[in-house]
Structure 1
Amino acid sequence: MKTRNFLFLLMSVAILFTACKSNDPEVKPTGITLNKTTLTLVQKKTETLIATLTPTDATGTITWTSSNTAVATVDNNGLVTAVAAGTATVTASVNSLTATCEVTVESDGSYDPAASLTGSAYYPIILDAASSAKVQSKIVADLRPDEATKFLYVWENTYTAGTATGPNFYGEVEGWVSLVVGSVGWSGAGFNVQDATTIDKLADITANPTGYYLHIGIKSKDNAVHVIGLDGQSNVKFALGATAFNDNGTLIEPLADFKRDGEWHEIEIPMTTLKTNGLLYASGMGTKNVFWFLSGGVAGTTLDLDAVFIYKK
């Protein structure tokens, strides 16, 4: 009888011990690190970042985010995909802890010009006649200068005319916008639209921006950083280059970059990104610079632009 009672007591203690172990609290992480703090990828390539929690027995759900999905995306497993040339910060977070990796995406040097003329809706700003004819039935609002209510204004003679000869972005011999920074010490120009009916048609883009992209054809041989801006009811601006643009002490961060080899390159930025960064179109906005740019104050810096439009893929 005593033996049976003793065995029963041992079993009770074992069950109690097991129950206590199963209810042990989870170990909260005190730190998080990534296997890489910098990462360089060629466009369209992928790499997985690995997050480690401390202490080693800590548990928690890791959330992954990218500061610039137009350049690089990251999934729930830390898989980074290079989308377009530029820089982005990938962040892994758990609770209030974070770790970051600075991602640089380099262009693979390839693009298919014809692909950007197969969308379903277009808002052209710079587009040659031959290419325009291919999407004519899909143009929702034509923002190109007509010298009546739509203009390209160079601000205070800060740019002079460049040389726009040879094939443009689409291989057409029709020219493009080529501007050279003068000797004033700064530069700026913008496509100004004064037609209210045309301006109002932009409202649909930020009302439902999914699938819309800002398309830019650009080429250069120098490493100058340029600024691109779009004005609406609220505005957005970003740099094109390897570093931020210093605008009188205000740093404008880059969203993309391109290879400086004197050849045409394609930049596409999702309108969802621009909306997140502050752009908002609405009815009744009035006169706006729908697309403007700065190139700094170094005389001789050249900006060559073509195939600038917003379109829906």
Structure 2
Amino acid sequence: MTTERAVPGLQGVPGPGWVVPDLRDPVRTIGRRTFDFDHRVAVMAIVNRTPDSFHDRGATFELDRAVEAAVRAAEQGADWVDIGGVKFAPGPELPAVDEIDRVVPVVRQLAQESDVTISVDTFRPEVAAAAIEAGASVVNDTTGLSDPRMASVVADSDATIVITHSTAPPRQRLPEPPRYDDVTGAIVGFLRERVDRALAAGIPDARIIVDPGHDLNKNTVHTLELTRRLPEVVALGYPVLAAVSNKDFVGESLGRPRGERLAGSLAVATVSAMLGARIVRMHDVVESVDAMRMVEATLGWRAPVEAVHNT
């Protein structure tokens, strides 16, 4: 078991501009790792077994490449790996059995080779159940428990649930562009209702994480606003996941196409951590791990690897 705690003797009191969440159950064991989210920003790496993923365009669709990428991410310092078999965006229907065939072999092999925390990115209860049995300890539901059976599957296991804000039915487009009178208020209300749904199903507070859903059924202006107002989501009291890597709001903010969004992704991940996010979901593992470890070192939560300059 890997445990990350604050470094004794370091002064970890953030200055102005930093948001320190008041979390329910900040110290959590998720799979075979324990995280102190009072003093830790975890990096979730992304491995998609999809032929049409928006970022890698199917680079890890083949099983051997997906497993290799997942193991490599763990070796590069990712705290956990998120494995998906169906992208969020609209597309052709994929039967649940095919989604299981995509994700479960990766989950099973990664669990055998690493103690990294493993999550499955799915909105289907049957896929979640199969992945949990294979070794996943987190269900990352980007539809926010749209299927009420999902809460029961997670409640009957030891898994953690990530509850994400999105408004369209799974894999379908909204009938018109998204509009919000108050985007962050709508997100907080949605998440509060879905958290209540999870609690009612028997999932305890200590196994709930929330995600405001950057770009999911939101335009770039919406997503930038929710990022600025992230402390309102953090105030729910659950660890917040910020899935910001290489998304269109980064590209549109900077005028950068896919493949040229790393700097922008690292910037918004760092801002999200400053505003209280405790997990960032990222494609570029080495750079993202370095960025979050630097955040922790700056806050006094982590000792420098060495401190010899001017000594």
Q: Output the TM-score relative to the length of structure 1.
A: 0.26
More helix by share: 2
More strand by share: 1
Q: Output the TM-score relative to the length of structure 2.
A: 0.26
Larger Rg: 1
